[in-house]
Amino acid sequence: MEHATTTHNLIPRPPVVTVMGHIDHGKSTLLDYIRKTKITESEAGGITQHISAYEVTHTTPTGEIRRITFLDTPGHEAFQHLRSRGSSVADLAILVVAADDGVKPQTLEALKAITEANIPYLVAISKIDKANADIERAKMSLLEHGVYLEGLGGVVPFVPISSKTGEGIPALLDLLLLAADLEELQGDAALPGQGLVIESHCDPKRGISAVLVIKNGSLKTGQYLVAGSATAPLRIMEDFRGKRISKATFSSPIMVVGFYETPTVGARFEVVADKKAAQAHVAAHTDTVDEGALVTAAQTTDSETGVFTLPIVIKSDVVGSIDAIKHELRKHENENTQIRIIYEGVGGVVEADVKQAVGSTRALIIGFNVPVDAAAAELAQRQGVEIVAFRIIYELADWVPTAIAQRRPKVRSEKILSEAKVLKCFSVTKKLQTLGCRVETGTLSVGDRVVLRRGEDDLGRGSVDTLKSGKSDVSHIEAGNDCGALIDMDLDTEPHFNDRLIAFKITEE
């Protein structure tokens, strides 16, 4: 569904920016410095734990206060899959290259991803505060790999920076906004909101939620949202600080709580008027493949082919063993599963091997008849990379099917355990609701996750705190019986007679 945009409604919109580069060249420290200095102290607490995007403000040399949205997922392989029908979730990119190291393999991977996403970028030459920093050498390294900088025969802007002292960072943000102005980024706030899903997960109490970046239009509570086959009523909407909001517009990152199924990361979302329109939209697009789907830590299926990919680093004592290992691995490839060798070599497992694996989602390192360096083991544990060691090829062959099965993405679904009819609402607070109910199907138990539904609309999600049969506390109530139920649920409206309380569990298959 494409929305027509009238020229007279267009206004400039803030840029959405991603920061990319080699694993230890200072992407995270750059983002940390910008976040800490460009968001007020009262807002900054817990931001990175809330969602993986945030807004900052920057005052330009002319005194103008401008907003920038940063995607806080530096170095993630997912950004190689940010294309969505010719557009990207990011409008601009910053390619970080360390002044003491120059261009490295992941720098080239990042550059390829930026080029394929077809977005403009600028270079931040980082770590200029280090004693062995050599800015000129870093420039030459970039030139040697086809990055032609301004003043050196090219048009790519660059700024030397230090995320430790802050030197160069205001100039970097000025340059970033200048590049955004050249792109003439615009939006129409009057249109129904649309954009991309950048993160999704399932919370035990709040249900399925997703982080979105709005690329055009506005979202407001009361509407419905569609992202691929996933839909959600816009009832609980939060900004990047975790603050409840009722409206948001373009370039803002927000969290929406209450999806009926987990939306695909990278899927395009659109806003429609009501649930009926959302269901019609899903039905009309069920056979459409969303080209923008990303590969994330929770999803390792190639978005364009539907193939599950397992990235592997192989280290062995001899070259012949590497060939044997690859032969065994290939036996387990089929139309739905692919083994991707991201690096292979002779010798022990060292830190460089772990760094190779970190750039790929859920990568494994296989060591065959080789030692694992202590520093490599420590880095792997810190970065969540698994190292497995074998001495017999048959043990490896037996292990591969299990490794694939364990890492194949799981499909989440909700299984209904019981349904109860609300007979009376005895008391209501912001977080706790005391209800009189009649269990009509299944068994309602203390601790069950529940959703309160009116007609076809979900009013809220929570859990059963306590149950009473008469005056006695009980652990469960079976079908055909009345009960009193204390429900831990955040509601904006009071429960009514005939509302339904549905208990469910989330299963993965």
Three-class SS of 402-434: HHHHHHCCCCEEEEEEEEEEEEEEEEECCCEEE
For the 412-508 domain, the top CATH level (class) is mainly beta
Distance (Å, whole) CA 268 – CA 260: 16
User: Which of 38-42, 195-199, 222-226 has the highest average model confidence (pLDDT)?
Assistant: 222-226
Structural fold of domain 9-187: Rossmann fold (3.40.50)
Compute the residue count for the chain. 509
Q: Provide mean pLDDT across the span 117-128.
A: 93
pLDDT tens per residue, range 216-274: 999 999 999 998 888 899 999 999 888 999 999 999 999 999 888 777 767 789 999 88
90 or 298, greater pLDDT: 90
pLDDT tens per residue, range 425-443: 998 877 888 999 999 999 9
266 or 117, greater pLDDT: 117
pLDDT surpasses 50 at 95: yes
Same fold, 308-407 and 412-508: no
User: Which of 30-39, 52-61, 140-149, 303-312 has the highest average model confidence (pLDDT)?
Assistant: 140-149
- Tokens representing 246? 């009722």
Q: Where are the domains of the chain?
A: 9-187, 194-284, 308-407, 412-508
Residue 409: band (very low, low, confident or very high) from pLDDT cuts 50, 70, 90: low
Specify the pLDDT at position 477.
Answer: 95
Specify the pLDDT at position 7.
Answer: 53
Look over the chain and give the mean of its residue pLDDT values, rounded to a whole number: 82
Alpha carbons within 13 angstroms on the beta-carbon side of residue 144 total 10
Percent of the chain whose predicted confidence (pLDDT) is above 90: 43
Alpha carbons within 13 angstroms on the beta-carbon side of residue 373 total 13
Instruction: Give 295's DSSP letter.
Output: P
pLDDT surpasses 70 at 113: yes
For the 308-407 domain, the top CATH level (class) is alpha beta
pLDDT surpasses 80 at 351: yes
43 or 268, greater pLDDT: 268
Contact 275, 457 (CB under 8 A): yes
CATH ID of 194-284, from 2.40.30.10, 3.90.550.10, 1.10.260.40, 2.60.40.10: 2.40.30.10
Measured between alpha carbons, how far apart are the two ends of the chain, in Å?
Answer: 31
Instruction: Select from 250, 238, 242 the least CA-distant residue to 43.
Output: 242
Residue 410: band (very low, low, confident or very high) from pLDDT cuts 50, 70, 90: low
pLDDT tens per residue, range 156-166: 999 999 999 99
